[in-house]
Structure 1
Amino acid sequence: MNRMWAVDVEGNGANPPEIIELGIVEMDGLRLTGNVKHWQFRPGREITPAVSRIHGITNDDVAGAPPIEDVVDDIFLWLEDSPIVGHNVRVELEALSRVLPDWKPVAAYDSLKVARALLPNEEKFGLEHLGDVLGLKDAASQAVGGGAAHSGPYDAAMSAILLEQLLSPLPQAERDRILMDADILNSRQGSLL
């Protein structure tokens, strides 16, 4: 299975958070295909000012957006049972599972775990920091037609590009081992990339 989706969600700051933005970018193996999906949603509870300062999305920005419940069939159609990738992917998995209770990807690869394994001397592992250190910011922005850190499509692209940057130079057997270790669903399948 070569197709995967790099995924990023942004929330409203509630507990548990409601998804207000979802960005997914398609990968074929370790490469982006150029297929990008982006949605914004109107949450049931307002976006807190603290999280608006982080991701830049305000209540006015999503006032005309549909509630996520109106779009779940479309999201499910895109994600199906494909593997997903994300930086601290547990956040995406938990948030999406709340609105897609019948959805379960075959694998959930955490680019944060991959970075920690392959960059042992790095002091910080935040996606924005790693993008700076590895010079990936322009590539992520170009992949989704613009954007910056903490936007769903940009962060999804950054997770995918980070994964490619870290794994591409490695032999296939090493890639597979690292990916299996980074799969938070503990799928143990054959070669995926």
Structure 2
Amino acid sequence: MSMNFTLWPPLFVVDVEGNGGTPPDLVEAAALPIRDGLLDTTTAKAWTVRPPHPVKPFAARIHGLTNDALANCPPWEHVADQAHTLLNGAWICAHNAHVDYRVLTAHLPHWQPAGVLDTLRLAKSTYPELHGYSLDALIESIQPDLTHAPAGRHRATFDAYATAQILLAMADHYDTWEQLTAVAVPPGLPGRPEPKKEDTLW
């Protein structure tokens, strides 16, 4: 038996990049749909935005999005409705998903995903023998096809593309969506399966 991807609910692999603040302001977000076990780049969305507070130098060194590069981008408020409409009610997947979920929730206060998959959590169960579980470590170990990945590492579009490829590679180790979610949804996040109640006389 192998995973039947046609039974998956609507799912977007997401990645966010911030300005380095605490809490961070978004500077970039990407949402890449997975449909029937394939990356649907034709309907993928990405938003590069001008944050209300300047990008800190250490953050700019990581993702390359400087204040000058973002000067003519729209503020998040101009694209928030589009992002909310796209993502609301769907599952999302991200690497170290707590971070992306927290940032998106702060920027989309009325948004509610159906569930959240975490490729970091999934990788620790799927590949317990690995020495590291960062996105770079998984790219090195799994060697997904990144030939057509947009932009570069630490940009939201690239990282979402890489995470999506890694998710699909790991999904082949599970027979059903339910088996996958039982492992991949972090405690406390939407979509976590309810524990089965033990049969009792009372």
Query: Taking structure 2 as the reference length, what is the TM-score of the superposition?
Result: 0.85
1:49 pairs with 2:42: no
Percent of aligned positions that are identical: 28
Bigger helix share: 1
1:130 pairs with 2:138: yes
Give the CA deviation at 1:51: 1.0
Mapped to 2, the partners of 1:94 and 1:169 lie a distance apart of 28
Give the CA deviation at 1:99: 1.4
Mapped to 1, the partners of 2:96 and 2:12 lie a distance apart of 14
1:181 pairs with 2:174: no
Q: Answer whether contact 2:55 2:66 (CA < 8 A) is retained.
A: yes
| Larger-gyration structure (1/2) | 2
Cα displacement string for residues 28-84 of structure 1 (whole angstroms, at most 9, x for unaligned residues): 253212222111110111111111111111111110011101111011111121000
Mapped to 2, the partners of 1:131 and 1:97 lie a distance apart of 27
Mapped to 2, the partners of 1:147 and 1:179 lie a distance apart of 30
Cα RMSD between the aligned structures?
1.6
The 5-angstrom pairing of residues 109-124 of structure 1 reads 109-124=117-132
Structure 2, unmatched stretches of 5+, are: 1-7, 195-202
Query: Taking structure 1 as the reference length, what is the TM-score of the superposition?
Result: 0.88
116-125 or 27-36, larger mean C-alpha shift = 27-36
Counterpart pick for 2:11 among 4, 9, 12:
4
Mapped to 1, the partners of 2:60 and 2:120 lie a distance apart of 24
Q: Answer whether contact 2:113 2:190 (CA < 8 A) is retained.
A: no
1:70 pairs with 2:78: yes
Counterpart pick for 2:166 among 148, 162, 166:
162
Mapped to 2, the partners of 1:141 and 1:86 lie a distance apart of 20
Mapped to 1, the partners of 2:78 and 2:162 lie a distance apart of 28
Give the CA deviation at 1:181: 2.7
Structure 1, unmatched stretches of 5+, are: none
Query: Quick one: structure 1 residues 141 and 36, their matched pair in 2 at CA, closer, same or farther if it must change by over 3 Å?
Result: farther
Cα displacement string for residues 146-171 of structure 1 (whole angstroms, at most 9, x for unaligned residues): 32211101111111110100112432
Counterpart pick for 1:28 among 32, 35, 48:
35
Query: Quick one: structure 1 residues 84 and 10, their matched pair in 2 at CA, closer, same or farther if it must change by over 3 Å?
Result: same
